[in-house]
Amino acid sequence: MPPLPKRRTSHARQGKRRSHLHVAVPHLVRCPHCGNPRPSHQVCPHCGTYKGEEVLKKKA
Spatial contact of 46 and 36, defined as CB atoms under 8 Å apart: yes
What single DSSP character describes residue 13?
Answer: H
Spatial contact of 55 and 48, defined as CB atoms under 8 Å apart: yes
Rounded to two decimals, the pTM is 0.56
pLDDT score for 57: 81
Per-domain residue ranges for the chain? Answer: 26-60
Which residue type does 49 have?
A: T
How do the pLDDT tens digits run along the chain, 60 residues long? Answer: 899 999 999 999 999 999 999 999 999 999 999 999 999 999 999 999 999 888 888 766
d(CA 36, CA 49): 12
pLDDT score for 60: 63
